[in-house]
Structure 1
Amino acid sequence: MNLSKPLRAASLFLHSLALRCRVYLPRRQCLAFVPPANPQQTGISQIYVINLDRQPNRWADVLRELACIVDSSGVPLTHRSNRFPATDAQSTQRNLTDIAEIDPFYSLGDQLYVEPQPHAFPDDFDLVRPIRMSEAEIAIAHSHIGVWKAIAQSSAPYALVLEDDVWFARDFSSVLDQAWREMKDADGGAPIFDVLYVSYAEARHGAPKELLSKNVFRPERGLWFLSGYVLSRKVGSIASSASSLPRPDRSMDKSQVPCAGRARPSSPGSQPACRSSFHEFLFNPSSAKHAWCS
């Protein structure tokens, strides 16, 4: 008899029930989010949620989560949330393999750079062997690049990008605010960064990192997933002007992302967030900066 499935179903039901009940708790304030119309404050002023047209329930769930958090002026985050229609690999009429903005190939060496296998020797692998992304992976990458372009055309200095199956850890607001304060202290004013992860996972054998402050670190490698991050408008501008971009995070396939209702919920605020240069973020993950959010 396999008892794992019933227990897992019960656990997911209780988790979902707890999330729904949180709307009755006092709202949490996150000072890192600022009113869009206030140019005197530098912070996160827009939110984009990538959502499939055939998943309206997920959009409603994310709005419920965002309604539990208010910005520095006391306004719920739902007031600056924008739904971004995701590219759907199952229903699109477009040939996803021909999207000029995405290089659909990466090498086994790229994969092993992010997640090394310490018990295997390099000679055991054909490191230059090309691996082709699936159509689902290409569709998700295309959705994220579309959001980057939307941010480039906006007036928001920073925007939070979310996939539609995330939920927020209870300490999200306090942890993000602490990381934001540390970045302000380090930068001598308003934080200066291109990418700030708020939801990701480390590779199986960990992510070597350089600790920059109590809650901020720079990883060398070993980070997967892209279900929640803050992006600067400058990054969106670079993405818009690039003719072809490799996939920024090859683990964005929904079959791999640890999301709510799956193996492990994605919860912005419960794990390290990241800060990096856009060029390095796309092409050299060894030099990205990250903020510790746990």
Structure 2
Amino acid sequence: MTIPVLAINLDRSKDRWEELVKRAALVDVAPERIPAVDGKAIDPAEWHEFDARGFRLRHGRHPLAAEYGCYLSHIRALDRVIESGAPHAVIVEDDTDFKTDFLPRLEALTRLSPAPDVIKLYNHRLSGFLPKATSAAGDVVGRCIHGPLGSAMGYLVTRQGAVKLRRALLPISLPYDIALERGWSHGASIVTTRKPLLKRVKSASTISPAGYKPTKFPFYMRIPTALFRGQDYLRRAAYAARG
């Protein structure tokens, strides 16, 4: 079966696209380019579908222009999944690399029953992993009690899942990687593989090369954020414990 691989890439990052295509070819993947939204080229006064107050309260810092662009780029990729009519697609960012056994493992994941709406193929961390199913290729998928897991670098999504995410993930009030994994909020069934199918290429971040610390509010202004995260932690744990 052919599973579309959609790769998000900025117009000004042609070198990253060319390198991604080379890496993908090594595992017989021909990615389709999704032109990324360049948040840095948009005046913050013109940010649409963005809940500025909600972002500050939930995340405890100022938003970055590149985060805004990244979020809308993933929305654009979800739109392409829906438009394509394909039952499944993979969405990746352009700093993705592929494990040598990527395709057979991916195809086995599409045959899981019942099929999750989203399967994350890479995370920064996995803590309190609870297994839910095992693919024919041996990949264990599950959910984590602790989080956020970090990264939206690559995930398998069904067309139905793309529809659910597209309806629920706007307006923006969190970075995309955090919003994506909140299945208890957006209603899509989301799991992650215990062992990644992808790996990250070492490259400079296009979102925050200087890190996030300069954008954080003082401690006393982050009390609403702490309350939100505490509630979300409990909801995450309950979601992970479900069958």
TM-score (norm 1): 0.54
Match in the other structure for 1:151: 81
Counterparts of 1:60 and 1:209, CA distance in 2:
35
* 8 A contact 2:58–2:173 mirrored in 1: no
* 8 A contact 1:152–1:235 mirrored in 2: no
Counterparts of 1:210 and 1:65, CA distance in 2:
32
Match of 1:101 among 38, 49, 55: 49
Q: What is the aligned-residue RMSD (CA, Å)?
A: 3.3
Instruction: Quickly say closer, same or farther: Cα 1:142–1:108, change in 2 above 3 A.
Output: closer
The one-letter code of the counterpart of 2:158 is S
1:211 aligns with 2:131: yes
Report Cα offsets for 1:143-173 as digits up to 9, x if no partner: 1111111212221111111111111123434
- Write out the 4+ residue segments of structure 1 that deviate beyond 6 Å after TM superposition: none
Q: How many correspondences in the alignment?
A: 188
Larger RCO: Structure 1 or Structure 2 (Cα < 8 Å, ≥ 6 residues apart)? 2
> What SS class does the counterpart of residue 77 from structure 1 fall into?
coil
Match in the other structure for 2:210: none
Match in the other structure for 1:229: 155
Counterparts of 2:143 and 2:194, CA distance in 1:
10
1:85 aligns with 2:40: no
Match of 2:145 among 210, 216, 220: 220
Instruction: Quickly say closer, same or farther: Cα 1:176–1:282, change in 2 above 3 A.
Output: same
More helix per residue: 1 or 2?
Answer: 2
Match in the other structure for 2:102: 172
Pick the structure with greater CA Rg.
1
Match in the other structure for 1:244: 170
Instruction: Quickly say closer, same or farther: Cα 1:166–1:104, change in 2 above 3 A.
Output: farther
TM superposition shift of 1:198: 0.8
The one-letter code of the counterpart of 1:103 is D
Counterparts of 1:131 and 1:228, CA distance in 2:
25
Instruction: Quickly say closer, same or farther: Cα 1:163–1:99, change in 2 above 3 A.
Output: same
Counterparts of 1:98 and 1:131, CA distance in 2:
19
Counterparts of 2:3 and 2:104, CA distance in 1:
17
Counterparts of 1:149 and 1:163, CA distance in 2:
16
Structure 1 unpaired stretches of 5+: 1-42, 70-75, 112-129, 182-188, 253-277
Match in the other structure for 1:132: 62
Counterparts of 1:199 and 1:292, CA distance in 2:
9
Counterparts of 1:104 and 1:224, CA distance in 2:
21
1:60 aligns with 2:18: yes
Instruction: Quickly say closer, same or farther: Cα 1:248–1:155, change in 2 above 3 A.
Output: farther
TM-score (norm 2): 0.63
Identity %: 23
* 8 A contact 2:119–2:157 mirrored in 1: yes
Structure 2 unpaired stretches of 5+: 135-139, 197-243
Counterparts of 1:243 and 1:162, CA distance in 2:
18
> What SS class does the counterpart of residue 99 from structure 2 fall into?
coil
